[in-house]
Amino acid sequence: MLAKRIIPCLDVAGGRVVKGVHFEGLRDAGDPVELASLYEEQGADEIVFLDIVASVEERDTLVELVRRTSERVFVPFTVGGGIRTAEDMGRVLAAGADKVSINTRALREPELINTTAQAFGSQCVVVAVDAKRTDTGWQVFSHGGRVPTSRDAIEWMREVVDRGAGELLVTSIDADGTKRGYDVALLRAISSWAPVPLIASGGAGGLEDFRQALEEGGADAALAASLFHYGTFTVADVKRYLRENAVHVRPVHE
């Protein structure tokens, strides 16, 4: 049985890690290089680095920051934000990322998923989906959760998997930053059919939230930001709780 993964997320704006509620009201949470190194020491299985304003500002990901971070971190490392072409993805991978996450550009140009999966392999292509609950399901938002689209989230995820995405990073906009728990219903609606790994994002506030996302929601990994950044729990705390509750995770060496 594959171990469930715990993944700290570094949302970066202006070269600093930030965190807000519902993608708004951003506050400084520290230096990304130092935080990434700290989380690796705590037992993080992976790190996700998202330049959350790159798509809004129409600029490239901070490749130099990616390079500096990758020099200090030796667990798998995913980078996203402002990826517009296969060449952009190639530069980020060359800077040290193991995987690249695309979101807004994939919605505009779905063929980018096919192109990058063919060029670098599906294992390098993570499609991030920001989903908000509606009366009938979930709707996809773009530009860091700021702009609504007409796409149904589940239908969009089926399409991106068909196009070659190797992993889904799904954030509940309703739950993001609230610390009230992941959207388990959304996760279950995806994990019931998805043939690729699912990363749950948005809403972690307590240790039990992780267990619910991984066990009841069927996610393969759980991503969190604020509760790690502000010291509520460490990655090791989360893993100890999960092991105590019969969830298979990699051990923490302390």
By annotation, the residues acting in catalysis are: 11, 130
State how far the Cα of 36 lies from the Cα of 19, in Å rounded to an integer.
15
Phi, psi for residue 135 in degrees, rounded to 5: -65, -25
Query: Among 229, 231, 227, which Cα is nearest to 210's?
Result: 227
Sign of the Cα torsion 229, 97, 60, 140 reads negative
Name 110's Cβ contacts closer than 8 Å, sequence gap at least 6: 159, 160, 163
State how far the Cα of 196 lies from the Cα of 193, in Å rounded to an integer.
9
